[in-house]
Amino acid sequence: MRPQSVCPATATRTPTPHLATSLLWAGALLAACLLIGPAARAAELRPGAPETYTVRPGDTLWGISARFLRDPWHWREVWQANTDVSNPNLIYPGDVLRLTMVDGHPRIAVDRGGESVVGHRGGMRVVRLAPQVRTTSLKEAIPTIPIAYIGPFLTQPYVAESDQIKGAPYVVGFPDEHIVVGVGDAAYVRRIDKVKPDRFQILRPGEALRDPKTNEPLGYLATFVASVALERTGDPAKVRVLRMEREVAIGDRVIPASAEEPLRNFFPRPAPRGLRPEILSVLNGVTQVGQYDVVIINAGTRDRLEPGHVFEVFQGGTKQTDQVRQNGSDWNWKEESPLSTEFWYGANQEIRGWRHDAPDSDAPVPPTVDVRPRRSTYIQPFERSGLLMVFRAFERVSFAIILEANRPMHVHDRIAPPPA
């Protein structure tokens, strides 16, 4: 029997600095659970789910949850955080995860080696609990997804609106008449009037991201060039390069640097119902998409997308050639009888019906029928090819990472929210 939907526990927990944003997401998820109630699909165990699993370096929470659950985004429904420790939601290498059933519902808890078996009494296992102190750095905690793959994309590159990128201040020249400049060099920018903010990013506008149906520009993918500090306002203003990934050139755009700490932890959950976006492009410049590639999809904050939203990726819906019917025109007329349809109309034709009333038996041949070419194409059915998760959302587009790839994916593949 399928277990009922379970929402995360509401026990009081002490937030840590790097988890503050994550716990906000947890609160939002809890509120969503309270609103959705039993209508949401409950967590289901994967066939052959292990009773225990020892966390290893390099693991991710997504990969671990996929060992236990059919749908890894249901992890928070089954996770039993230890409220006696300061960081109850963190998992570390060496932790032993144990699967149990509580009132028919799956539960996964962590055993950090704080218990030892001292014997048996009356057929019951007797356990002595021993206090332990953990001194592991928070940075060694198991992340939800492989952050290394998306780290460069958490703050850059940047997707700018058309008007925003056109109206932004831009590099107009250099004090020493250089063509390009690097770290420590100054540049003139046209124009900056305010002393705050005093930190800026320099971007280089790239390709337009266009809606696949209307060809409307959804934004411009801008490449990060450098971080600069404002030295003098005016027209032109003067900035100095603090950090760079490529040399600053005339025409590069200048925007205020984001003061927000990028979100480093994610709580995967199904994307809002009714959305049917598609993959617009791949950020590594290829057309085939594989696991942990970063892609851009044509949906964003105006579509209620947030970091952590999960989509299933589908292939299909395209016109394919029917090789059998396409080659059916290569029939040998010498082997056909005058009494056969193929003799008169060819093998790649089919009779749809009489054009008017059926003629009598004395009517000349070929008969007066509605003959049309057989369709030499068919529409390929949609098949699930993987999962992706949004990790950064702009107004009309979002960056997402491919978490699962069952088969190669491509630009323009369709995506849809998984069952909730």
Here the tokens at position 98 are 């144990």
Here the tokens at position 210 are 């266009």
Q: How many residues does the chain have?
A: 420
Q: Are 310 and 144 in contact (CB under 8 A)?
A: no
> Quick one: how far is CA 253 from the chain centroid?
28
State pTM to two decimals: 0.66
β pairing state of 309-315 and 414-416 = antiparallel
CB within 8 Å of 321: residues ≥ 6 apart: 376, 377
State the pLDDT at residue 36. 38
CB within 8 Å of 5: residues ≥ 6 apart: 33, 36, 37, 38, 39, 40, 41, 42, 43, 77
Nearest-angstrom CA–CA distance, 309 and 44? 19
Upstream peptide bond of 212 is cis (omega within 30 degrees of 0): no
From residue 333, how far is each of 11, 81, 337, 339 by CA, in Å?
Answer: 81, 76, 8, 12
Query: Considering the domain 269-318+381-416, what is its CATH architecture?
Result: Beta Barrel (2.40)
What values do phi and psi take at 403, rounded to 5? -90, -35
Upstream peptide bond of 262 is cis (omega within 30 degrees of 0): no
Other CB atoms within 10 A of residue 95 CB: 19
Print pLDDT tens along the chain (420 aa). 333 333 333 333 333 333 333 433 344 433 333 333 434 567 889 999 999 999 998 888 889 999 999 998 888 888 876 655 556 667 888 889 999 888 888 899 887 654 433 333 444 434 444 444 444 444 477 788 888 788 778 777 788 876 777 788 999 999 987 888 889 999 999 989 999 999 999 999 888 889 888 888 898 888 889 999 999 999 999 999 999 989 999 999 999 887 666 666 788 899 999 999 999 989 876 667 889 999 999 999 999 999 999 999 998 877 788 777 666 545 454 555 555 555 555 555 555 555 555 555 555 555 555 655 566 787 888 889 999 999 999 999 999 999 999 988 999 999 999 986
Helical (H) or strand (E) element with 148: helix 147-150
CB within 8 Å of 288: residues ≥ 6 apart: 408, 409, 410
CB within 8 Å of 393: residues ≥ 6 apart: 300, 301, 305, 306, 307, 399
Q: Are 268 and 368 in contact (CB under 8 A)?
A: no
**Helix, strand or coil, per DSSP, at residue 320:** strand
Segments making up each domain of the chain, as ranges: 17-115, 155-256, 269-318+381-416, 322-376
From residue 29, how far is each of 17, 34, 74, 387, 408 by CA, in Å?
Answer: 19, 9, 11, 20, 32
